[in-house]
Each structure stands twice: as C-alpha cells, then as structure tokens.
Amino acid sequence: MHTEAIDPPGISWQRVSPKYVTVRLVQWALGNLITVLVLCLPLVLVLLGWWRWPPLWLAILVPAAALVLAVWRLVLIPRQVRAIGYAERDDDLLIRGGIFFQRTMVVPYGRMQYVDIGVGPVERGLGLCTLKLHTASPGTNALIPGLPAAEGARLREQLSARGEARLAGL
Amino acid sequence: MTVDGPVPEPGTAPLPGKPDAGSAPVVPAPAKLPAPETHDGEWLRVHPASPFVRGWVALAAIGFFFGRDFFERMLQGRPILEDGFAGRIPWLLAGGGTVLLVAVLGFILTWYFTRYQVAGGYVRVNTGFIFRQQRQARLDRVQAIDIVQPLLARIFGLAELKFEVADAGESAVRLAYLRMDDARQLRATILARAAGVVRDPERPEEAAPEAPEFPVLSVPPSRLVGSLLLSEQSFFVVLGGIASAILSAVTENRGFYFYLIPAALGLAASYWGSFNKGYNFTAAISPDGIRLRYGLLDTQAQTLPPGRIQALRVAQPPLWRIFGWYRIQVNVAGYGAAGSNGETASRTTLLPVGKLSDVMSMLSLVLPDPGTAEPGRVFTAGLAGLDSDGGFVTTPRRARLLAPLGWRRNGYTATSTALLIRSGRWWRQLVVLPHQRTQSMALHQGPLARRFGVADLVLHTTAGPVSPRLIQAGVDEARTLFDEQAARARLARKRQTSEQWLAQVAPAPVVPAPVVPVPVAGHETGASTVAEPEMPAGPQQQEGQQHG
C-alpha cells in the first residue's frame, strides 16, 4: 500500500543512526523467539506422545502463526527505523515515527520540563542513546531512540538551552 | 538534566516572570536550613485536638480490643472477672495503658513537631521528630487549594487545608486540622500572596481579607438524585436486573436472586457515595478563582485560581438528554488523574449535573474570554450541533463508513482563545482546551484511517479525566490544525507573562529578561537562523556540525 506521510510538508527530517536496527533486532529476538519457543513446547510434548490434548494441527498452527508474525515484524524493522525522524524547528521539536501506524508529535521547547538520556546495554555497545522529553503531561511520549551518543548530548544541551529561553508555565 | 532553573533558596524573593511550574516546586529540604530572613509569618502549629481527630480510628480500635470482652461478659451476665483471671488484671491494665500512652504520646509528638509558616512567597511545613522533613512550596505555583471537613472534624469545627502544586501525586501541603476560621484565613492569605496582592506596607501584620465571592449556581438535591437514577450506571443495573430475572425464569433457579444481594449492596454504597459527594453543590466566583462547595456528611470547599484549568469536558449521557442535563469535568495539574479513590473523581468534577444555562455560566467562568463574537452559538453547536453549524469542521463525508453515526458530529473549531473538540452522537462530548495550556500534540494515523484519508489529533494536557482527542479529521484539515495549533499555543504562551493572576492584569515589570539573540550558522535541518540563547560552549556546536 502506498503510504503517504501525514507530517507537515517542507520539513527535512534528521534520521536516527542505522545502527539502531541492531538494537531493535536484539529486542525482537528476545521477545519473539522466546514466545515462539514457548509456543512450540506443546508441539514437542505432543510429538513425544506425553500429551494427548492439543491435536497435532493445533500444536503446529499456533507456533507457526507466531513465527509468521515474528518474521513479519522482523522484515518491518529496517523500514520502521528509517521512518523515525526528528526536526528542530524555531519553537518546537518534531518527532515522527511509524509507517503503518504513523505518529507525528510536536513538543514546544517552552513546555519541556526535563530531558532524559537513557543508554541500554546493547545501545552502549553501539555507541547509541535514547533521548526522552518530558512535559507536564503524562501523554507526551516523546522518545528519540538510536541517536549517536554525541548527537544525543548535543541535542540535550540544545533542547535545554532553548527550553530555558522559552520557559512557559503550565 | 532539568530544563528549568534552580529553585531559589529560601528567603529570596520568588522570580515572578519565570514560570517553571510543574517541575519540582516542592523541595523537601534537608533538616537544618538557615532560618529564613523574611519573618513576616510566624511558625504555627495545627490545632491540638487534630491528632485525636485524625487518630480516632486507632484509639477506637484500642478501646474496642480491650472493651469488647468486658461488654460481652456484662451482656451475658457472667462475672466480669473470672477467678483465675483476677490475678492478671493489673498486668492487662498496665499493658493496655502503655499501648494507649504510647499512642497518645506519638500523637502529641507528631503534633508538636508539625509546624507551618507562610512567608516570603513560600508556604513551609516541618514534620517528623525522628525523620524530619522540611517542605516548602512556592505560593505562586498554587494550582488549587481545598478545605476539607470530614464528619468528625466537622463536629469539632475543624478543617483540613490542602495546597496543590503541579505534582499530581500527593498534596504539596496538607494541614490537618485547623480551626475552620483559621483555615479560611490561611486560604485567604495564601491566595492573596499567590495572586500578587501588594500588602499595605504600614500595616504588614494585618491579615489579608477574604476575597468577596458571588454565587453562580447550585444543584438542587432532586436534580442530583435524578441524575444518579439516569446515569450510565443505572442503565447497566436495570440491564443486569432484567438479565438475571430472565435467567432465573428460564432455568427456574432461584439462586440468581441471592447473587444480586452483594451487588445491590455495592451499588447502594456507590450511589450513596455519589450522593454524599454531590449533595448541595454550589459554585461561586471570586477574584481568587472558582469556588466549589459540596458534600452532605463530609464537606469540601475547593478554590481553583484563574487559569489553572488545563482542559474541560462537557458530557451528556444519552438518558440525561431527556432533561437536558450535562456534566463538566476538568483537568487541574494538582489533582492528578482519577485513581482508585473516588476523591479525585469528585475533585475534578466542576459540575456534577446542570442545565444548559449552568454549563454556559461555568464555561464563562473558566474561559472569561471565549475568543469568539457569538459564544452562545458556538458552544451550543459544540454541545448539541451537527455538521458545520457554529463553524465546526467535521469528519469528511468520505469517512462516514468509519463512524456511521458520529461523522456528522466529530469535529473541531478554534476560537482565538481555545480549541473546541466535539464528538459522540449518543454520548455527547465537548472538550474545551485553552490554547496556552496545550503541552504537546501528536498526529496519529493507522492503515484504515489512511484508506479513508483521515487522521487523529491528540492533544496532551496534564493528568486528569479529560484526554482531548480529535478523531477522524480529514488529513489536510488535521495537518493544518496541527500547524495552526502549534502557532496559536506559542502565541498564547507568550501573552501569558506571570503566574500571579492579579499581577497579570497590571503591566507589572514581570517580563523575563530579554535574551540576546546570538545568530548561529544554519543547521543542516534547514531551520532558519534561530535566536539562540547563550549556548553553553563551543564544543557542542562543533559536535552538532559533525553529527547533525
């Protein structure tokens, strides 16, 4: 399906590091492979003849479906990572993400309460970090994952300085 | 790393033009702080009876524990003391007495070490005698201030004062209990200081007078009962009753009725809770903001200073349409999201049930400047209208399959001060969002919405019962609104200069110090030359050039 972007036109997005794909791959492996393996357990037990109840077709179908879904997600990962973008405008920061389920978010600098930088074990190995913006609203789920560490630090300082200049109340 | 600046030391004057509310206005400071220099308020204690009013449950439990046996024996006509028991009486009495004494001593110590002070733009509370806590909250950060009277406190003429800042977790300052007059006086003082009222320099000791208030509306008990009977809850009660009656008739099993008993008890408690909370609801307006009073046994008086309401929702369940009733709920930063306790739910209710005229007068209190020439028509269209009356932009016709009933109603319009989002054909809703209160925004679009060329716009406000979401707007309209709304919110924020609402009216010197624009070489973003405030150092910019 042709996917037209919903974000405002005329914005040049900065993309996150392609290395972030690796982080997502590790997350994917941890999540999906374990699920598939657990779902395969009844199949093994049925094949060994220890269990009688799940008929063979069901025991095969469930993990197979999970596997297909997992592979589908795996295929999507590089595209999803490419879809993540951010843009610093004069008064606000734009963050976009997703292809199928698109989201474009605008966070005014004056509304930022604080900026977090988080680094997970895999990210640390790749020299990446995740930037998180917090406003007074719990609904603001503004994450920029997969930033190179230096760019993350620069962005953090930049956002803090701009936030300071445009401070607004609640 | 925080965006906002450091919290000023105690004693320094609050910076009026630097509104960084919401971050951490409450500072639990270390125990030993230098005494603040500005002593315009002395340290005070809460009422001596308050620990007993607060701890009566514990005392009652102790009394019950030791007294139950005694009473049972009396009632049964047995000797109060058994023969082998008499020797142990002194020990038992001593044990009970010690427990009681320790409890009372604990109460008294807690009371003695709890002191509060209103001085120099702060309210400070010291608590604890082993683990001491000193807490201060900036007065101009007040989001709401409540006076609560539980039944027992009411009997004694006492009241609890709650001071809310934008933390939404717990109350920043809870003073339990004060004499009712003292609580009122303290509220008036706090509100006057928070509003930026300049005190008479010749008589600094004189207490601030309470702001005059004008009653706006009240909810008669009959309407409250009617609204409860016609609420969504009742609808499902009747449905459940019919279902169980049919079930028992079909299966010829009387057992179903017995299952209904606990359900009925729970329901009665729930109805009673709503009735108790909503009874005698009155709203009034004063220069300090909106005053709400309600409660049958436990009474509560809320004060919401102007501009503290972050978002508002007018809702009408289908059955209420018969009488033309509406309910108003609000997001206030200090109250937080409605959690498990019903208290937050009642505190975030601006109007439990009211007619159209009540809704309009409440809206005019919340939004003194509606930002449109004909507010009546626009808001009425928002409450009950369809299609484009009142200037609303609705879901495009091509998406009518997505919302066969709602597409003519789901829509938005923007006045110069607020964004209005309406939705729901049966469960009618109108969300009003002042422009300067928008925190951030997001456009969402799933595959199905893309197929129909629509998108959702979610606006983020502080935690609360209202979560504004414009559903199924046409993509072009949504995108335009996204841009326009960002611009409008920016403008509205610039216009709002101070947190002190009375100072806001007067052209006081509260404008933040102008930032010297430092031109910076354009980034790769293509962003035009940004007026950058003092960047920390050069290296970061170089990094920016490398990694941008």
Give B173's strand partners.
B163
Q: CA of B523: which chain A residue's CA is closest?
A: A88
Beta-bridge partners for B322: none
Residue of chain B minimizing CA distance to A92: B486
Q: Which of A7, A16, A92, A137 to mutate to test the interface with B (most CBs of B within 10 A)?
A: A137
Helix ranges (H only) for B431-474 are 447-451
User: Cβ contact (<8 Å) for A161 and B533?
Assistant: yes
Using CA atoms, how far apart are residues A106 and A95, in angstroms rounded to an integer?
Answer: 6
Helix, strand, coil percent content, chain A, rounded in steps of 5: 50, 20, 30
When pLDDT is averaged across residues B333-340 and rounded to a whole number, the result is 72
Q: Are B302 and B285 in contact (CB under 8 A)?
A: no
Cα B138 to Cα B152: distance, rounded to the nearest angstrom: 31
Q: Would you say B127 and B116 are in contact if contact means Cβ atoms under 8 Å apart?
A: no
* CA pair distance B368, B360, nearest whole angstrom: 11
Strands B173-179 and B122-127: unpaired
Query: Which residues in chain A have Cβ-Cβ distances shorter than 8 Å to B544?
Result: 151, 154, 158
Respond yes or no on whether ipTM tops 0.90. Answer: no
Tell the residue number behind the tokens 């930049």, with chain if given: A158
Contacts of A143 in chain B (CB under 8 A): none
| B361 to chain A, closest Cα gap in Å | 24
Contact across the interface for A170 and B166, Cβ inside 8 Å: yes
Contact A154 B467 (CB under 8 A): no
Please write the tens of the pLDDT for every residue from B147-193: 999 888 888 899 999 988 887 567 778 888 899 999 998 898 888 88
CB contact under 8 A, A6 and B21: no
The CATH class of the A85-165 domain is mainly beta
CB B88, CB B107: distance < 8 Å: no
Domain boundaries, chain B: 309-510
What is the greatest pairwise CA distance in chain A? Answer: 70
Cα distance between residue B34 and residue B508, in whole Å = 31
- Cβ separation A8–B482 shorter than 8 A: yes
Nearest chain A CA: its distance from B195 CA (Å): 15
Which residues of chain A does B6 touch, with a Cβ-Cβ cutoff of 8 Å? none
Q: What are A32-72's pLDDT values in tens digits?
A: 989 999 998 888 988 888 888 888 888 889 999 999 999 99
Are B30 and B71 spatial neighbours (Cβ–Cβ below 8 Å)? no
Lowest mean pLDDT among A134-148, B16-30, B192-206, B365-379: B16-30
The model's confidence at residue B322, banded by pLDDT at 50, 70 and 90, is: very high
- Residue A42 to residues A32, A33, B260, Cα–Cα distance (Å): 17, 16, 41
Task: Count, in order, helices (H) and strands (E) of chain A.
Answer: 5, 7
Contact B445, B455 (CB under 8 A): yes
d(CA B265, CA B268): 5
Interface touch A135/B166, C-beta < 8 Å: no
Read off the amino acid at residue B132. R
Strand ranges (E), B120-230: 122-127, 133-138, 144-149, 158-164, 173-179, 214-218
Give me the residue from A114, A151, A170 closest to B21, CB to CB: A170
Size of interface A-B (CB pairs under 8 A): 189
Closest in A106, A110, A159 to B441, CB measured: A106
Q: Could you give the 3-state DSSP secondary structure of residue B421?
A: strand
Closest partner residue to B447 (CB to CB) among A1, A8, A135 is A1
CA-CA distance, B335 to B349, in Å (whole number)?
Answer: 11
Tens-place pLDDT, residues B32-44: 333 333 445 788 8
Q: Can you read off the two tokens belonging to residue B215?
A: 């009653």
Q: Which residues in chain B have their CB less than 8 angstroms from residue A111's CB?
A: 439-440
Rounded to a whole number of angstroms, the CA Rg of chain A reads 21
- Give the sign of the dihedral formed by CA B291, CA B508, CA B5, CA B537: positive
CA end-to-end span of chain A: 41
* Chain B residues near residue A83 by CB distance under 8 angstroms: none
Name the token pair of B256.
């179903």
Point out the residue among B22, B530, B540 whose CB comes nearest to the CB of A170: B22
Query: Which of B460, B458, B369 is closest to B417 using CA atoms?
Result: B369
φ, ψ dihedrals at B304, nearest 5°: -110, 105
Indicate yes or no: CB of B544 within 8 angstroms of CB of A158. yes
The Cα B223–Cα B171 span in angstroms is 32
Tell me the pLDDT tens digit for each residue of B437-471: 888 999 999 999 999 999 999 999 988 899 999 99
Answer for the pair B158, B47: CB distance below 8 angstroms, yes or no: yes
Q: Do B439 and A110 touch (CB under 8 A)?
A: no
DSSP code for A89: -
Separation of alpha carbons B64 and A78, rounded Å: 68
* CA B48/CA B528 separation, integer angstroms: 64
CB count, 10 Å around CB of B228? Answer: 18
Q: What is the pLDDT of residues B480-527, one digit of tens each?
A: 999 999 888 888 887 765 566 665 444 333 333 333 333 333 333 333
Q: What is the pLDDT of residue B62?
A: 74
Which amino acid, residue B403? Answer: A
- Asked if residues B1 and A113 have their Cβ atoms less than 8 Å apart, the reply is no
Q: Give the pLDDT confidence of A62-116 residue by residue, as tens digits.
A: 999 999 999 999 999 999 999 999 999 888 899 999 988 999 999 998 888 889 9
Provide the token pair at B187.
Answer: 């509220």
From A133's Cα to the closest Cα of chain B, the distance in A is 10
User: Which one has a higher pLDDT value, B87 or B379?
Assistant: B379
Domain map of chain A by residue range?
20-81, 85-165
